[in-house]
Amino acid sequence: MTKKLFRYLAVAILGISASLVLNQQTNTVEAKSIIKTVMHDAQACDLYGDKVKGKYAAYTQVKVDDDPISFRFKPFAPGYKISGKNKYIKASNIDGVKRKVKHNSFVYATSSRRADSRLLKKGKTITTYGNSFKFKNGLRYYRIGGPKKQYVKAANLGKIIGSNTEETTVTVKTKGADITDYAYIDSDDEDIVKRVKKGTKFKVDYAQYSSMDIDDPDGYEYHIKGTDFWIWHRDVKADKKIPIHDYKFEHFTYIMFYKDTDVYNADGTKQDHHGQKIIKQGGFIKVNKLLYIWIKSKNKAELFYHLAGHQFYATDLPDGSSGSDVINVGQGYVKKKDVKFIDGLKLSPSNTPEEARQAAKQDTNKKAE
């Protein structure tokens, strides 16, 4: 496989910061539009799953980009972008998901009337669309088809076992293509499991960015279904596009310092670096926690990010002299309002303002003992 480079480069050459620059290249190829049928009433949302204006009724058609995406919230399920608009629909409302039948099941049109004479036998894999419906009898059902009403009791079906949006067939187009045993790599070392012949076909069910390749800035690999193995996308031709997941952005959160920023301790007191602050800087700064900290001087709780890094480039001293190039913040925190969320996993607070107040009160009592 062609030698690869790191997808991300550290801002600090000294290795002193968790500040990262995402070396992404803009895809200049315009997405093509395709027509999809909405199989379950769908609410439009943004990339992070928050509702936006727009609802799409079941069995209506909608124009979407043909390049599905993965949402930036757990479980990072796939979705489609509405063509020409900054809004999305969950793919489960369009393509559906796969489930196993746990108990022999009939197909219903209503809670009291069957849609037809079919019996879905235990062990069969079927496609369901969207969330379940609660019928008049108090039981929940999943839609399995249409446009006529077809539902199966939710209790008779298992958990999601696959996504129709994320599965496709790939055909090897490169002579002696490599199969490796993992997708996300941070070095040039790879464990090659075997090489396969041109024309070999594989079912794949997941795609994930690995590292950046010199010849291919959008380097990603396909997961071969039912195995622990992966194959690089440049070596194959896929029957259809599937969403490409990004490990870094599905596991970490990134902010930027849009202004010179003060750093705080876990007790809400401002750190003293002789007047120096973290300097305004672009790039991607990794944080790993969002929480409320009680500010005793203000008698209120505020939201803070916990910095994953410990050393950052610094402003000059108040008198204008350069001082130290960097400051060591240790277990440092920055106010959420002082920084800007850039990308990655959108964090939720790990505590409440009241919990922060009680923690501060307990800490004060301990110090007084």
- The secondary element (H helix, E strand) that includes residue 82 is none
Distances (CA, A) of 36 to 58, 61, 63, 65, 95: 11, 6, 6, 10, 9
DSSP-based three-state secondary structure for 265: coil
Each domain of the chain, given as residue ranges in start order, spans 4-25+167-249, 97-163, 252-368
Question: Which pLDDT belongs to residue 217?
Answer: 57
* CA separation for the pair 101, 224 (Å, rounded): 24
Question: Which pLDDT belongs to residue 218?
Answer: 67
Distances (CA, A) of 103 to 96, 122, 135, 310: 20, 5, 19, 55
Identical fold for domains 4-25+167-249 and 97-163, yes or no, is yes
Q: Which CATH architecture has domain 97-163?
A: Roll (2.30)
Question: Which pLDDT belongs to residue 189?
Answer: 58
Please identify every stretch of the chain with a pLDDT value under 50, giving residue numbers as ranges.
Answer: 1-28, 212, 214
Which is nearest to 327 in space by CA: 282, 241, 261, 253? 261
Q: Count the neighbouring beta carbons within 10 Å of the beta carbon of residue 73.
A: 16
* CA separation for the pair 302, 337 (Å, rounded): 9
Which is nearest to 339 in space by CA: 246, 216, 256, 245? 256
- The secondary element (H helix, E strand) that includes residue 267 is none
Peptide bond into 318 cis (omega under 30): no
Burial 99-129 (b: 16+ CB within 10 A, else e): bebeeebebbeeeeeebeeeebeeeeebbbb
Question: Which pLDDT belongs to residue 368?
Answer: 64
* CA separation for the pair 293, 301 (Å, rounded): 5
pLDDT digits (tens, 9 = 90+) for 23-45: 333 344 567 999 999 999 999 99
The CATH number that domain 4-25+167-249 falls under is 2.30.30
State the number of CA atoms in the 13 A half-sphere of 141 facing the CB.
23
Question: Which pLDDT belongs to residue 316?
Answer: 92
Q: What is the mean pLDDT of the chain?
A: 87
pLDDT digits (tens, 9 = 90+) for 97-156: 999 999 999 999 998 999 999 999 999 999 999 999 999 999 999 999 888 889 999 999
Burial 236-247 (b: 16+ CB within 10 A, else e): beeeebbbbbbe
